[in-house]
Structure 1
């Protein structure tokens, strides 16, 4: 029982998947950083119940 060599198309797909995964992780980090910055700034306030009407 020998291991087969990985086909060339799988190598390219793996590289593309790693790239897409890194871009997705970067986007998530960016959104979290922007959210953290917005929440920790002094001008952030939750809307009051009276203003929701």
Structure 2
């Protein structure tokens, strides 16, 4: 019993998986790009944590 024979469904699944993978890579690239632009523009400021220590004003 040889495993070299590919069934037709394997090519369809590979095509679908390739599409999903490329979509995920594109989404990650968009998020990374937007984050990079926001940080390098200079208007990004890390939010300050509110102090909960008594007497610290």
Asked if Structure 1 and Structure 2 have the same fold, meaning a TM-score greater than 0.5 normalized by the shorter chain, the answer is yes
Root mean square deviation, CA, Å: 1.8
Q: In structure 2, list runs of 5 or more residues that go unmatched.
A: 52-57
Q: Could you say what secondary structure the match of 1:40 adopts?
A: helix
| Deviation for aligned residue 1:19 | 0.5
Q: In structure 1, list runs of 5 or more residues that go unmatched.
A: none
Q: Which runs of 4+ in 1 moved over 6 A?
A: none
Larger radius of gyration: 2
The alignment covers a number of residue pairs equal to 51
Q: TM-score, normalising length from structure 2? A: 0.75
Q: TM-score, normalising length from structure 1? A: 0.80
* 2:54 corresponding residue in structure 1: none
